[in-house]
Structure 1
Amino acid sequence: MKSFITAASILLSGFALLTEAHVSFRYPCPRRGPYAECPQGDWSLIDYNIRSPLGTHDAIASPMPKWPSSFDGVRPTFQAGQTVSATIDVGAHHLGGSCQWSLSYDNGVTWVVIQDKLLTCMADAVDGSAYSLPFKIPANAPSGNVIVNLMWNNNSGNREFYSTVADIIIQGTNGGTLSGVAPLIANYGPSSPFIQELALANGDYGQALFAARKPITITVPKKALAKRQSKTNRLV
């Protein structure tokens, strides 16, 4: 009985934290997400503060990605070229902001941007609601276990940096390259680029910073395909 009460207290306190936070993937399941869409895992691993920013321009609160892994479970599989109907759990939309979707094939060491929505991303979201925010996987994306990362810089309020990641499988080309730009990581510690609050910046949402992102190409090695063994009858 005592353990049940303790677990229930943890669950309720977690939802209280969620009500104070801002944005996260809901589908695909974010790492250690507290959602029904996620594989059920150890309660002690659930991140009930998953919608909070990773940091502000003053300080870094968490690394990116926040967690090195997620629960055990099946990753959703998507095809190269497919548009994924992602769902975002929005706590506070901060009058929108700038979103960058990126992929990593090396567990978050290297990222390549695959899609942008600058200035107006989630501007029409309703606080406390689920929000549809699709992204398209490049048609030439290599196959593999991949992390998809939605990074967001908010237009209003504290100068914050958000990142929500989900583990997926892409079925595409066996090996190859994926080119794009490295993401802009702004308002994430005092040494990062600074994007001013939109109302104070005369419409400057960091256009020059986004335009200056560096080109990047990632290479995914080709995997050897399993060979089928055939039996042949030999006459002796």
Structure 2
Amino acid sequence: MFSFILSIFAHARIRRPIPLAAVPENPSGNEYNKPLRIQGNSFPFPCKNLHKQPGVNKAPTEIWQAGRMGRFEILNHMSDGEGNLAPHSGGSCQASLSFDNGETWKVLHTYQGGCPRDVKFRSERAGPNQVFFFHIPAETRAGAALFSWSWFAVTPSRPEMFQNCASVMITGSGNDTLDHLPDMFVGDLTIEGHINQGECRTALGYAVVFPDPGAALTITEVPGVIFKEPTPGKCYAKGSKNKTATVGQM
């Protein structure tokens, strides 16, 4: 039986690229702190609908060059004025891009375990270095895109999916929307027509093993944290263009 820690801190979130609707001076009130909702219309997948809400600044906050490295940074305990993260024993996360305003998501890099970095099992403290790098393929389509950091913690109060989205600009001469890359794993949600009740659920106390992580994969083992696949189901993003791997039936 696992003993789960109730944190007084904000949930883990990214600080770079700057997420949609980020309010650093009021971290406890930021919409991007909260997990996605399993039911109801509040904070839905994707992006809590912030990418479509009027009044939300959607101007790109970072410029990334195709063929080089991009990065995201998770809030840490040294981020003065922005609150403290609640890393919930770490977890697994993915960095993804969307070229159609959130309808489809392509995974640039998967981090199985160790996200956030340097978090002990049953701990709510993380190390100071929370910058994660990933490669942006040279053929990536130039122009505006949506970036996603999606995260599944080891010891949250209940299974839930976190997602921060940010507007970015890709420079270069490419025109590829990266359809050959895997779809983002979408779990711990019920999405009518896509994910049924009980499908694609993570297990408390474990770091999830994404069913289709892609070739760009970093695996980090943490003492006491065991890897585990999600429950069976079609765990895919809305409007996926690719044939989707079905967990438990491969």
Q: Could you say which TM-score interval applies, normalised by the shorter chain?
A: 0.5 to 0.7
When residues 176 and 97 of structure 1 are mapped into structure 2, their CA distance, relative to the original with a 3 A threshold, is: same
TM-score of the superposed pair, with normalisation by structure 2: 0.63
1:62 corresponds to:
43
In structure 1, the gaps of 5 or more residues are: 1-18, 37-42, 218-236
* Structure 1 CA distance for aligned equivalents of residues 73 and 12 of structure 2: 10
* Structure 1 CA distance for aligned equivalents of residues 58 and 202 of structure 2: 37
In structure 2, the gaps of 5 or more residues are: 1-7, 77-84, 120-124, 191-196, 209-224, 243-250
When residues 21 and 151 of structure 1 are mapped into structure 2, their CA distance, relative to the original with a 3 A threshold, is: same
Q: What do residues 176-197 of structure 1 show as CA deviations (whole Å, max 9, x unaligned)?
A: 3412111111112335411111
1:103 corresponds to:
97
Structure 1 position 108, deviation (Å): 0.4
When residues 93 and 186 of structure 1 are mapped into structure 2, their CA distance, relative to the original with a 3 A threshold, is: same
When residues 76 and 176 of structure 1 are mapped into structure 2, their CA distance, relative to the original with a 3 A threshold, is: same
Q: Does 1:117 align with 2:111?
A: yes
Q: What do residues 4-29 of structure 1 show as CA deviations (whole Å, max 9, x unaligned)?
A: xxxxxxxxxxxxxxx64312221111
Q: What do residues 187-223 of structure 1 show as CA deviations (whole Å, max 9, x unaligned)?
A: 123354111113599934227879x879956xxxxxx
Q: What do residues 88-119 of structure 1 show as CA deviations (whole Å, max 9, x unaligned)?
A: 12511111111111100111011111110012
* Structure 2 CA distance for aligned equivalents of residues 47 and 71 of structure 1: 17
Aligned residue pair count: 191
1:15 corresponds to:
none
Structure 1 position 144, deviation (Å): 1.4
SS of the residue corresponding to residue 107 of structure 2 reads strand
Higher radius of gyration, 1 or 2? 1
2:202 corresponds to:
195
* Structure 2 CA distance for aligned equivalents of residues 74 and 54 of structure 1: 23
When residues 72 and 208 of structure 1 are mapped into structure 2, their CA distance, relative to the original with a 3 A threshold, is: closer
* Structure 1 CA distance for aligned equivalents of residues 206 and 72 of structure 2: 29
Which structure's residues are more often helix, by fraction? 1
When residues 170 and 185 of structure 1 are mapped into structure 2, their CA distance, relative to the original with a 3 A threshold, is: same
1:225 corresponds to:
none
* Structure 1 CA distance for aligned equivalents of residues 89 and 104 of structure 2: 30
Name the stretch that deviates more: 192-201 or 85-94: 192-201
Structure 1 position 77, deviation (Å): 1.2
SS of the residue corresponding to residue 50 of structure 1 reads helix
Name the stretch that deviates more: 113-122 or 195-204: 195-204
Structure 1 position 59, deviation (Å): 7.0
Backbone CA RMSD of aligned residues: 3.6
